[in-house]
Amino acid sequence: MSTLTQSLKSGNWRALVACFLYFDTGFTVWVMLGPLAPFIGKDIAMTPAQTGFLVAVPVLGAAILRVTLGNLYQAYDGRKIALMGLTLSAIPSVVLLLMPGTPSYTLLLVLGVFLGVGGASFAVALPMAGSNYPPKVQGLVLGLAAAGNIGAVLDGFMFPGLAEHYGWAHAAGAALPLLALAALALVFWAKDQGVKSGSAPRAFSSFFITVFGLVALVLCVHAGAFGEGRAGVLLLPVLGALLAIAVLPRHYRGVLGERDTWVIMLVYSITFGGFVGMSSYVTTLLISLYGMPRLEAGLFMSLLAFLGALVRPIGGLVADRISGVRALVLLLAAISVIDFVFAAWMPPQGAGIALLVLVYLCFGLGNGATFQLVPQRWQGKTGLMSGIIGAAGGIGGFYLPVIMGMAKESTGSYQMGFATFGALAALAFVLVVALRTHWMSWALPKEVPGGAVLAGGVAHVE
């Protein structure tokens, strides 16, 4: 405990709390369609694939927007960017609260992109929190800031009960007081000490081009412009990623030519993608597999999200001690085994819940371990890399509910969905093992004479 206290006192803890609240409320808004989906389905007729697409759109929105929001953080004050993000992510709640009648499926898809702005807060909250602390505690600090994904707990507890009594559209308005609380914390406590470079006007333009470009792409996919059925849905993340990359400054695109970038992106698409994708879909999964009542399924979703979020700082703290590399080798192997066991067995309710608990613990620990590596490997580019790697996590989270919905609709079972993600986790495990020796050369901050800490080859005096 004394070590934890000393670590927190080594920087600005108020700024850390503000970043936590910003990401926490952003996350709450981001995945709220997941627990609301069973209630939406009572008013709007949807196939399993359409339900999967609806809850996946906010996940994809956050994934793509993290890239250009991270780029914006490199050029402009993080506190002001965060306040803008809170305003944009409040738009869906305001629209659903005030709109008479039942919104259309198409409108919900559009609003889903703006919900994604809440999830994109990751690309600002983490580097802004880290900028207030020395390199040697980055794993813990980034883990604590990113524990804001505990916001998913509020979704399961809050939205199903409100939807049951007041209707799902009005329930969405409950997010507004939370967003206001985060805004107050940002105004009075947040501080961004990150080094800025590049053109802020161009970065703002890139961000808003991506927002409205994503709206257009989602509507085109829904209209069948890129192929009927699954083809357009599966192509959407690729098109969105190309859009975000196209508007990035040329010198930032260079990180996409690095092997380490792609491997870390794959890892995070499994750990965080698994966390957020399953959080968006697990309510539907439990109702479909085990006939669990809607309120009970929503509460269990909250429990899973709480466990995953709670252990994320622990994953960062452990990685500070043994390195994220060693931690990820173990965690990716465990995720792969759990997915394959689920696919081969399709267990009864008790065993299925136990496996879901285990995989969520691995997701949370893996998320913390992954981001312990980022400031060590990409010193001075943490905003950009948080956006790019976070985008990969969001894309993984997009594909999970989509593929689960497609597997259920095509085969009547979720086996192929679990098998697909088990194979991806196994691939990531093999790649991390293959690169283990190279990565260990930079995976931990190194003490150097004079009380400095060396991170990513750059000395920092504390």
pLDDT single digits (tens) 166-213: 999 999 999 999 999 999 999 999 999 988 988 999 999 999 999 999
Q: What is the pLDDT of residue 449?
A: 44
Q: What is the pLDDT of residue 461?
A: 28
* CATH fold group of domain 252-441: Growth Hormone; Chain: A; (1.20.1250)
Mean pLDDT, rounded, for 240-255: 86
- Give CA–CA dist 217/240, Å, rounded: 7
Q: What is the pTM of this model?
A: 0.79
For residue 455, pLDDT over 60 is answered with: no
Mean pLDDT, rounded, for 366-392: 85
- Give CA–CA dist 273/230, Å, rounded: 20
Which residues, including other chains, have CB under 8 Å from residue 6's CB and lie 6 or more apart? none
Q: What is the pLDDT of residue 231?
A: 81
Q: What is the pLDDT of residue 255?
A: 87
- Give the distance, in angstroms, between the CA of residue 436 and the centroid of all CA atoms in the same chain: 25
- Give CA–CA dist 118/155, Å, rounded: 13
For residue 452, pLDDT over 90 is answered with: no
- Give CA–CA dist 99/355, Å, rounded: 41
**Fold match flag (9-248 vs 252-441):** yes
* Confidence tier at 1 by pLDDT (50, 70, 90): low
For residue 372, pLDDT over 90 is answered with: no
For residue 382, pLDDT over 80 is answered with: no
Q: For domain 9-248, give the CATH number.
A: 1.20.1250.20
Beta-bridge partner residues of 446: 454
For residue 283, pLDDT over 70 is answered with: yes
Q: What is the pLDDT of residue 2?
A: 66
Using one digit for the tens of pLDDT, what is the confidence trace for 136-159?
787 788 888 877 777 877 888 889
Mean pLDDT, rounded, for 338-359: 96
Q: Which of 91-95, 385-389, 439-443 has the lowest mean pLDDT?
A: 385-389
Q: What is the pLDDT of residue 147?
A: 77
Handedness of CA 20, 425, 440, 394 (dihedral sign): negative
Q: What is the mean pLDDT of the chain?
A: 89
* Confidence tier at 446 by pLDDT (50, 70, 90): low
What backbone torsions phi and psi does residue 446 show, to the nearest 5 degrees?
Answer: -115, 130
Using one digit for the tens of pLDDT, what is the confidence trace for 3-17?
667 777 888 999 999
* Confidence tier at 32 by pLDDT (50, 70, 90): very high
- Give CA–CA dist 102/96, Å, rounded: 9
For residue 161, pLDDT over 50 is answered with: yes
What backbone torsions phi and psi does residue 461 show, to the nearest 5 degrees?
Answer: -90, 130
Q: What is the pLDDT of residue 229?
A: 67
How large a percentage of the chain has pLDDT more than 70?
Answer: 95
For residue 264, pLDDT over 50 is answered with: yes
Mean pLDDT, rounded, for 421-428: 97
Specify whether the CB–CB gap between 395 and 119 falls below 8 A: no
Mean pLDDT, rounded, for 64-89: 94
Q: Which of 27-31, 209-213, 445-449 has the lowest mean pLDDT?
A: 445-449
Q: Could you tell me if residue 451 is left (phi over 0), alpha (psi between -120 and 50 degrees) or otherwise beta?
A: left
The structural domains of the chain, with segments of one domain joined by +, span: 9-248, 252-441
R_g (Cα) of the chain, nearest Å = 20
How large a percentage of the chain has pLDDT more than 90?
Answer: 60
Mean pLDDT, rounded, for 281-285: 91
